[in-house]
Structure 1
Amino acid sequence: MSSRTLKRATATATALAALLAVAGCSSKAEDDKGDKEGKGGVKTGVGVSADTITLGVLTDMTGVYATLGKSVTQAQQLYVKQTNADGGICGRKLKLTVRDHGYDPQKAVAGYTELEPDVLGFAQFIGSPFVAAVKQRVDSNKGLVLPQAWSANLLGSPYVRVVGSTYDLETINAIDYLMKEKGLKKGDNLGHVYFEGDYGENALKGSKYMAKKSGLTVVEQKIKATDNDMTAQVAALKKAGVKGVVISAGPRQAASLVGVAAAGKFDVPIIGNNSAFAPQLLGTQAGPALAKNYYVASPTLPIGADTPVAKKLVADYKAAYPKDALDNGVQAGWTAASVFGEALKKACKSKDLTREGLDKALLTINSYDTGFGVTQDFSDPKAPSSKESVILRPDKSVTGGMKVAREPEAAEAAQSYTTGG
């Protein structure tokens, strides 16, 4: 884990404003970037030449989400390689420019500042707090960002588009599963362990909303990204008599929570948001406990899904990266890249590969099937592309280490929920 952590990402507004003020000095205004007509009569601008469409990737290869970042990035590199082999898009080859920010806020903002003047948009940007930190600049620069982040606080801009359900919706769907399938009921206490900051606090909104709707009481346990031992949290939740637990943190924290609970014979179902699992955990001491009592809410079907797209992606990824494990980061990266690619194709048909042309093209995509069970709608910037979640269960015997416990579904409470409310 990086020595700089999520705590720095959620520092005071004054410090963040100062950081952005410095970083923003080198950013160019969109009006200065000289849109022009390119080959084939296609209007082009920043990040697009006669031969190349350059996209940015701001990922985490060395920090708290290093496993996720590697899988997401390699899946997107695979998409680019295959797309280019098929002739590219709009007569141009795709190119990814990758920067590792190590889940460090200063590196994330600096990476955006470095890449933004030279890329059409960003096919990946890991970290809700970091995307939120540059959101005002994204709105000014108009370069599309598809973040690997699902905070509802990112909604509202036509240039930052969340792929799948946001953390609050995902948590509502997760609790709905615990109530329908795992014995949680009205009057019970529900534990919620969550990272301080954008991710965890947005998920907590979902818990509180669902608790109010369903007659539950939420017992909160706020943690930092540096907190890897969940012994104290398990003790507090056990003392409170909770009948189920939501965890909105990283894979390491989830493994500790589940493992400590099992060791202490605290036998309650635990469900995590989509960022709170990595299949590599099944090979650790926590593996048996995860397989028994842990569930994960996901925006789509897992990488090991029984769909043609999933099967082809598994085979292609194994061929390209034979030494690397398959996990849902592969599916997430591929999905984001394919959404970006679909928007590029529509922008090409409209003969407008400028940033504004790309953004307009994405708004026309209202029923896109990525091949992983959930249809995506990007027509409303104020909403995530879906309200559905898939409930997954760890299983080391299946591809990617996750099997489906409940098919894509939006709980009744999720359907009536105003995102971010």
Structure 2
Amino acid sequence: MRKNTTTWRAVALVAAFATVAASCGSDGDSDAESVTSEAPAAADDSADADEPADAAETTEEPAEAPAELATGRGVSDDTIKLAALSDLSGPVASAGRPIALGFETYFDAVNAEGGIAGRQVEVIAGDTRYDGQVAVQTYQQIGPDVLAMQVFGTPIVGAIRALASEDSMVIIPGSKDSGFLTDQNIALVSTPVSIEVANAVEYIVNDLGDGEAPAIGIIAQADDLGADHIYGLEVAAETYGFEIVAEASMGAADTSADGQVQAMRNAGAEYVIMGVGPGAANVVIGAAAASGYDATFVGAGSSFTGALLQTATADAWKSQFITTCGIAVWTSDIEGMTNLNAALAEFAPDQQPDNSFQYGYLQALVLHGIIEQAVANGDLTPEGLVEASTQIVDLDTQGFTTPISFGTDPVDRIPYRASQMCAVDDSPGNFTPITDFFEGPAAAAVGLRD
């Protein structure tokens, strides 16, 4: 039976709100030691089949709280409260709901093994509807009660960014925007979008183009997510010596992309970078398929979720789309997926394999590592958690990614720079790798977006 530790808090919303679709950088005088988080491990497959399945087991005993552990907002003697702010009912809920559930499910498994520092983890969910104003309202109601947050969506993180910084609120973003690297309280868990785009172009030029750059255009959202895609493409264009043939803008909630698709066709774009979220990307793919435009659309880890293969555009996604995969795919034979599948069976049995669920699970694993670092430091206050997030060295993500490090310098907060290219299909998780993980010269050249 599902052990649900999430509090689904109803947040009062103002009617006028429109619903729109590395190395360690600890201070030199700090004597804190880096710790490695262990994700909940799968139960032993050799267990007697006649016995009920046990909850996922950890490979180590839960961390004990030090004799003196400073605590603050969101932490009591028996509970650590976290939040998952996601799109649960808006234009990208197809990704927002599973990413929040993946985050919750990880901590359900942690709780089953004793929690963290003798405390159970409670996850409070808030629906942002992918609207910045709604997100601010939701943050203001939930924020005073929690230690840290998972937040889904680049524009949503941007909307609450200043508030979170003022509150020393650690955010694990469902965003790959390199613009957040300057904030020590925001910890990206995978390759930033700008680097993913640069690696995608490396693949287009050297694997598909035999060293010659084909005609490449971009459709980008008119926000930070789109800007980061454009920045990565500009770095790649300079590195490989080509001109971007066309740029078009659209909104996250737009329901038509006929003009943008026609602009790409008119420019002769053979490859189109998808600098948009899943909802807008589905509109683009649908418009291209309807008009017979057979370009290859290229994602950078933010434009697809498995639920899109349940729509009328499924065939177009499979035939006209490739994407970078910043984390190991669902079918990977890694420790992390063994543990995820055990937690999924125990705590979220109705959830189908979904890359967004997997990403939410990884976000929780990384936040767990940061919390363990704070516990080791003896400081589980909000400020202590921010400090801990600058002291992460080679965090073991159990194969989902290469080891992650977070320092104090913005460039040292890039978790890693490798990507792999994937095709979209009906396999569990909906991705099949085309390449191994790689880092091209353009990716190495990507810095911080202005």
TM-score, normalised with respect to structure 2: 0.81
Say whether the 8 Å CA contact 1:188–1:217 is kept in structure 2: no
Gap runs ≥5 in structure 2: 1-16, 22-64
The one-letter amino acid paired with 1:255 is N
Q: CA 1:321 to 1:92, structure 2 compared with 1: closer, same or farther past 3 Å?
A: closer
Say whether the 8 Å CA contact 1:165–1:386 is kept in structure 2: yes
Alignment of 1:238-277 (within 5 A): 238-277=265-304
Give the aligned partner of residue 197 of structure 1. Answer: 223
1:319 Cα deviation from its structure 2 partner: 4.3
1:86 Cα deviation from its structure 2 partner: 0.8
1:334 Cα deviation from its structure 2 partner: 0.9
1:72 aligns with 2:72: no
Residues of 2 paired with 1:374 and 1:314: CA distance? 20
Say whether the 8 Å CA contact 2:250–2:257 is kept in structure 1: no
Gap runs ≥5 in structure 1: 7-37
1:5 aligns with 2:20: yes
1:295 Cα deviation from its structure 2 partner: 0.9
Q: Deviations along 1:174-225, whole A, 9 cap, x unmatched?
A: 1111112222864643110111111111211111121122222221010112
Say whether the 8 Å CA contact 1:185–1:216 is kept in structure 2: no
Give the aligned partner of residue 111 of structure 1. Answer: 138
Residues of 2 paired with 1:250 and 1:138: CA distance? 23
Give the aligned partner of residue 288 of structure 1. Answer: 315
Give the aligned partner of residue 212 of structure 1. Answer: 238
1:304 Cα deviation from its structure 2 partner: 2.7
Alignment of 1:315-334 (within 5 A): 315-334=342-361
1:399 aligns with 2:414: no
1:373 aligns with 2:373: no
1:279 Cα deviation from its structure 2 partner: 1.6
Q: CA 1:326 to 1:381, structure 2 compared with 1: closer, same or farther past 3 Å?
A: farther
Q: CA 1:324 to 1:73, structure 2 compared with 1: closer, same or farther past 3 Å?
A: same
1:98 Cα deviation from its structure 2 partner: 1.2
Say whether the 8 Å CA contact 1:175–1:210 is kept in structure 2: yes
1:84 Cα deviation from its structure 2 partner: 1.0
Say whether the 8 Å CA contact 1:101–1:107 is kept in structure 2: yes
1:54 aligns with 2:54: no
Greater per-residue helix proportion: 1
With CA pairs under 8 Å and 6+ residues apart, which has the higher RCO, 1 or 2? 2
1:149 aligned residue (158, 167, 175) = 175
State which drifts further: 293-302 or 191-200.
293-302
CA RMSD of aligned residues (A): 2.1
State which drifts further: 259-268 or 387-396.
259-268
Give the aligned partner of residue 8 of structure 2. Answer: none
Residues of 2 paired with 1:187 and 1:341: CA distance? 42
Give the aligned partner of residue 327 of structure 2. Answer: 300
Residues of 1 paired with 2:18 and 2:108: CA distance? 34
Q: Deviations along 1:326-376, whole A, 9 cap, x unmatched?
A: 211111111111111111112212211112222222222121231213221
Alignment of 1:64-143 (within 5 A): 64-122=91-149, 124-143=150-169
The one-letter amino acid paired with 1:117 is P
Q: CA 1:256 to 1:174, structure 2 compared with 1: closer, same or farther past 3 Å?
A: same
Residues of 1 paired with 2:110 and 2:392: CA distance? 20
Q: CA 1:95 to 1:210, structure 2 compared with 1: closer, same or farther past 3 Å?
A: same
Say whether the 8 Å CA contact 1:169–1:419 is kept in structure 2: no
**Local SS of the residue matching 2:350:** coil
1:92 Cα deviation from its structure 2 partner: 0.9
Give the aligned partner of residue 161 of structure 1. Answer: 187
**Local SS of the residue matching 1:217:** coil
Residues of 2 paired with 1:70 and 1:350: CA distance? 34
The one-letter amino acid paired with 1:385 is P
TM-score, normalised with respect to structure 1: 0.86
**Local SS of the residue matching 2:107:** helix
1:71 Cα deviation from its structure 2 partner: 0.9
Residues of 2 paired with 1:58 and 1:298: CA distance? 23
1:318 Cα deviation from its structure 2 partner: 4.1
Say whether the 8 Å CA contact 2:206–2:212 is kept in structure 1: no
Alignment of 1:338-417 (within 5 A): 338-371=365-398, 372-383=400-411, 384-396=414-426, 398-417=427-446
> Among the aligned pairs, what percent are the same residue?
27
